[in-house]
């Protein structure tokens, strides 16, 4: 079976509750980043900044887990049902390798 090349411009419609939840998480992360920037500008102690950086990393990891779950339950399942299982599984494996670096 010939492997179909994936277009990097694929799109995904999200229902309003899912999109709203994702945007809320991203807005909180953005606020945390602005807070870290202010801490640097205000010459805050390194340890305090590092603790906030760890909090941002944890928030991004949490966002990624939720997004990955939605991706598997929707995009991956839909592609497999449409008969595109080989390419879909390969794409998912590549994604997981990148996420686990």
Window from 2-11, 23-32, 37-46 with minimum mean pLDDT: 2-11
What are the sequence ranges of the domains in the chain? 16-99
Q: What angle do CA 12, 16, 21 make, to 5 degrees?
A: 95
CB-CB neighbours of 62 under 10 Å: 12
Q: Could you read off the pLDDT of 38-91 as tens digits, one per residue?
A: 999 999 999 999 999 999 999 999 999 999 999 999 999 999 999 989 999 999
Residues 29-39 have a mean pLDDT of 98
CATH homologous superfamily of 16-99: Metal-sensitive repressor, helix protomer (1.20.58.1000)
């Amino acid at each position: 079976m010939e492997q179909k090349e994936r277009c990097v411009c694929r799109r995904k419609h999200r229902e309003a509750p899912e999109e709203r939840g994702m945007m809320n998480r991203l807005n909180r992360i953005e606020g945390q980043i602005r807070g870290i920037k202010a801490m640097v500008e205000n010459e805050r102690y390194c340890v305090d900044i590092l603790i906030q950086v760890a909090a941002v990393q944890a928030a991004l990891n949490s966002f990624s887990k939720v997004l990955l779950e939605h991706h598997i339950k929707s995009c991956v399942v839909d592609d497999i049902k449409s008969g595109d299982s080989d390419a879909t599984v390969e794409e998912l494996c590549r994604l997981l390798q990148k996420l686990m670096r």
